[in-house]
Amino acid sequence: MNTKRRNFISFLKSKFTIRVWLAIMLLVAVSIAFLWTIQLGLFERSYIDAAVNEMENRVEPIIEDIDSYGMEEAVSYISAAVHGKVFLLDGDGDLLYAYGIGLPAVLDEVDESMMHYFSENLEQVLAGQDYEQLIRDDRQDLKLAQGIPANYKGQNYAIFTFTYMDEISAMQVVNLQQLFVLSVALAVAAGFLAFLLARHLVKPLKTIEKAVNRMTEGDLTAKPGLTRSDELGQLSDSVEKLGISLQRVDVLRKEVIANVSHELRAPLSVIIGYSEMVRDISGKDETKRTEHMDLIIQEAERLSRMVSDIMDYSQFQSGYIVLKKSETDLYALVESEVIYARKVAAPYRISILLENGIGAVSLYLDPIKMSQVLRNLLNNAINNTKDGETITVSIARQNSVVRAEVKNPGPAIPPEEQEIIWERYRKSQHQGSRREGTGIGLSIVSTILEAHGIKYGVESANGTNTFWFEINQ
């Protein structure tokens, strides 16, 4: 069995295909039933009404001019006009004349059923009221019976006509035959079109289903790839967006695993090593025990900061963090972070000088993320500054550009390393030999600044390393 045949059989077995086909066929069946109802209930009556109006138009002039025709001649003309039988009865109910299609009929041959019909309706017609009735005989032939009041020389008469509606019956039969053929053709065509429509709907659904199945099997790059503007196209786009979101989750998972496995081992090893040392060696020596416990606490705190940085960086890389910008005073942010950094730098007798040449400056930023940028830059400067030296933080404006700088003294950063220091786990200088950082601080800085669309960089000259960023006001 080839692939096309298997796909066709699979298509036929689809429950959705069957439902679509049945729904369309049900609609067609309702339409056909409506056509038959209209044909049987409305068109036949319309044909009859048209025929009756035509006969009345031919009979009315004769009735109006009956005095000039004469009674018998008028009855003859009327029978020819209606192409049927005509009977004339006087006020006493006596049958005076009978004609059939313009020819006289034998009065004695009028059967009792006809006379009974005359007697039932004679009084109504003599009173001047028209009468009309459709009659179907045993053979289902259609006849039109009419009662027409007439006045001849001051006397009231009743004229009864019986017209076989052969043409209408034949037309009705032809119409019903044509409607039957049309119904069959419509059902066949609708069935075929319903099949094509169901296939048109099911095929993209199958494509979407295959993409989803591939995603469940681990291929998060799977896409339906439908280019449609209808609801199926929207569903395809939603599946693609789902795939992108799942890829982000997968990236976040991989980032967290990679970062945790890479960075947490060192502080954990230190914590475990000094804990064993306290247990086995320095437990009774208060001075050494305190020293070792301080190192354990320091490493534990660093480990906590590292976990936070790893999570922030991983979330940024996977696209999960959205900036929440607002009008923010950059100087207030810098001042707040400098105050915090001075506490961190105090044990090393490092001074942090804040220079602000523009005062308060309002910019459209995410204040929380920019605080994180400033803190990481200051921590980087503290880690790479010798004891007793000074770090300078400055804010200045040149035209419409606000520039913030963090300067620390230290050996020059080689030009080839000035780009890679922004990558995670890439470090260039460690002259301070401190462990305040987490190893990915500058990576977080670059990620946040790029998300803001802020230009940044590093300059190294004359024994000073300057980390800066510029914001268009």
Encode pLDDT of 246-265 as tens digits: 777 676 667 666 656 555 66
243 CB-contact burial (10 Å; exposed 0-12 / middle 13-18 / buried 19+): buried
Instruction: Name the helix (H) or strand (E) containing 311.
Output: helix 286-317
The pLDDT of 404-426, averaged and rounded, is 83
Distance (Å, whole) CA 170 – CA 356: 106
Architecture of the domain defined by 231-315: Orthogonal Bundle (1.10)
| CB contact burial 256-294 (16+ within 10 A = b; e otherwise) | beebeeebeeebeebbeebeebbeeebeeeeeeeeebee
Strands 401-409 and 464-472: antiparallel
Contacts of 69 (CB under 8 A, 6+ apart): 62, 77
Looking up tokens 């005073």, which residue turns up?
A: 329
CATH 1.10.287.130 intervals, the chain: 231-315
Q: Does domain 65-164 have CATH number 3.30.365.10?
A: no
pLDDT 10s digits, 457-473 = 999 988 899 999 999 98
Q: Does domain 322-472 have CATH number 3.30.565.10?
A: yes
Judge whether residue 396 has pLDDT over 90.
Answer: yes
Question: Given this model, what pLDDT does residue 290 score?
Answer: 77
Q: How many residues are recorded in the chain?
A: 473
469: closest CA among 411, 391, 396? 396
Distances in whole angstroms, Cα of residue 313 to Cα of each of 198, 303, 305, 340, 447: 48, 15, 12, 22, 8
Distance (Å, whole) CA 78 – CA 60: 9
DSSP 8-state symbol, 408: E
| CB contact burial 208-233 (16+ within 10 A = b; e otherwise) | beebeeebeeeebebbbebeeeeebe
pLDDT 10s digits, 137-179 = 665 567 788 888 988 888 899 998 888 776 656 666 666 777 7
DSSP 370-391: HHHHHHHHHHHHHHTS-TT-EE
Query: pTM surpassing 0.75?
Result: no
Category of 426 on φ-ψ map: left (φ > 0), alpha (ψ -120 to 50) or beta: beta
- Of the pLDDT bands very low, low, confident and very high (cuts 50, 70, 90), residue 92 is confident
Question: Given this model, what pLDDT does residue 188 score?
Answer: 79
What percent of the chain is modeled with pLDDT above 90? Answer: 17
Contacts of 461 (CB under 8 A, 6+ apart): 412
Contact criterion met (CB below 8 Å) for 395 and 334: yes
| CB contact burial 357-388 (16+ within 10 A = b; e otherwise) | eeeebebebbbebbbbbbbbbbbbbbbbbeee
DSSP 8-state symbol, 221: T
Instruction: Name the helix (H) or strand (E) containing 242.
Output: helix 231-263
Mean pLDDT of the chain: 78
Judge whether residue 73 has pLDDT over 80.
Answer: yes
Question: Given this model, what pLDDT does residue 403 score?
Answer: 95
Most confident of the ranges 96-100, 193-197, 284-288: 96-100
